[in-house]
Amino acid sequence: VKESLRGLSPYQPGKSIEEVKREYGLSEIIKLASNENPYGSSPAVKAAIAARLDHLAFYPDGYARTLREKVAKHLGVKETQLLFGNGSDEVVQIVCRAFLEPGANTVMATPTFPQYRHNAVIERADVREVPLVDGRHDLEAMLNAIDGDTRIVWICNPNNPTGTYVNETELRAFLDRVPPHVLVVLDEAYYEYVAAADYPQTVPLLNEYEQLVIMRTFSKAYGLAALRVGYGIANESLIRAIEPAREPFNTSTIAQAAAVAALDDQAFIRACVERNRAELERYYRFCEENGLKYYPSQTNFLFMEVGVDGDEVFRYLLERGVIVRSGRALGLPNGVRITVGTKEQNDRVFTLLSEMLGKAQ
Ligand code: PMP
């Protein structure tokens, strides 16, 4: 294999429900590890999928025309401004494939979503990681890390695993200073969940900044993580330049149909986002009542510090049927990242954490 692959391990996803059932002999498992939508997806999705089941012998529409029209209309952009991927994971891969090579470098925060680094390493580009400050992107230090060989700067907004965000003023000031030869990728996987009034309206920024790529996904608020649909939004010329790096049939017929139906049901998204917000507030209150530090979040997950090693909290919850992510695996060893679940799921988390904290005292 290529030298660049040798130091890499495959992506380590959160444990699956089946895995934990088997390992711990438990029947009831709550999975709050991968920031999935605990309310599922729009009820319209199942019918949309069923209607495509007679078409499985045919290749999908490689250009995802119907989905493309819908998304373009929804965002108010041209159809030619979109790039679809097998999840936004694949959009990351395509962008890296298109822009990175040996001798080039790429700038990102740490910790952040690990696939930027992973794909950059595969392309044998140099990775420049800039530590978060108080859980937030240090944009000044990121600007300082840019040089003539920098091809991509990544801003995960809101950031995974902290849930923190770069606001409109900060983002504009940053974009004004990024040299024109550098692509800026704004990963907005959790966009639908954002509530902050000063969060940037990013799509209109495409008119001002040629080098911008926005990424979004159907895996989070839309509840279609299993079907793998993500997309990039950028200026037409940029999309045209990147497209040849995309596999011809990278989103399936089923996935495209499901995404169309999910996009049509905005009432479902609003309801999920509202419930998420109310439950997130309960997490804040729980943390405050128990003196736990947390990062205020614009997403459907929360990073909290529980006063002991993240692995310990992870194991305590796992043995009792709740799967979360240890901060240790995410570059923040003193805490855990918990997906905000339904009221009942979160109640269970609060009960278990209270028990654990009681024991630790
Ligand atoms: N970006 C971020 C910030 C994420 O948290 C995730 C999912 N964990 C992704 C991208 C990838 O999502 P998907 O490939 O399912 O669209």
User: 146-201: per-residue pLDDT in tens?
Assistant: 999 999 999 999 999 999 999 999 999 999 999 999 999 999 999 999 999 999 99
What integer pLDDT is reported at residue 219 of this predicted model? 98
* Structure-token pair, residue 354: 């209270």
Residues with Cβ within 6 A of ligand 1?
Answer: 35, 87-89, 113, 156, 160, 187, 189, 217, 219, 225, 230
Minimum-distance ligand 1 atom for the alpha carbon of 219: 15
**Residue listed under structure tokens 């940029």:** 238
**Domain 44-264 of CATH type 3.40.640.10:** yes
Of ligand 1's listed atoms, the one at least distance from the Cα of 113 is 3
Q: How many angstroms separate the CA atoms of 190 and 172, rounded? A: 20
CA distance to 61, 91, 230, 256, per residue, from 252 (Å): 8, 15, 12, 6
178, 186 contact by CB (below 8 A): no
d(CA 198, CA 172): 12
Residue 297 has pLDDT above 70, yes or no: yes
Distance 111 CA to ligand 1 centre (A): 14
Contacts of residue 64, defined as CB under 8 A and 6 or more positions apart, other chains included, come to 84, 251, 256
Report the C-alpha gap between 218 and 229 in whole angstroms.
6
Amino acid letter at 229?
Answer: V
Task: Tell how far the Cα of 3 is from the centroid of ligand 1, in angstroms.
Answer: 26
- Concatenating the DSSP letter of every residue in 311-341 gives HHHHHHHHHTTEE-EEHHHHT-TTEEEEE--
Task: Report which ligand 1 atom has the smallest distance to the Cα of 112.
Answer: 3
Backbone Cα Rg of the chain: 20
How far apart are the CA of 94 and the centre of ligand 1, in A? 14
Q: Give how far Cα 357 sits from Cα of 99, 158, 171, Å.
A: 48, 29, 39
Q: Please check whether residue 314 is in contact with residue 336, taking contact to mean a CB–CB distance below 8 angstroms.
A: yes
Q: What is the pLDDT of residues 97-146, one digit of tens each?
A: 999 999 999 999 999 999 999 999 999 999 999 999 999 999 999 999 99
What dotted CATH number matches 3-41+267-360?
3.90.1150.10
Domain boundaries, the chain: 3-41+267-360, 44-264
User: From the CA of 271, how far away is ligand 1's center (Å)?
Assistant: 21
Least confident of 3-7, 279-283, 286-290, 348-352: 3-7
ipTM, two decimals: 0.99
Alpha-carbon span 173 to 164, nearest angstrom: 18
Q: By alpha-carbon position, which residue is closest to atom 2 of ligand 1?
A: 189
Residue nearest to atom 1 of ligand 1 (CA): 189
* Total count of residues recorded for the chain: 361
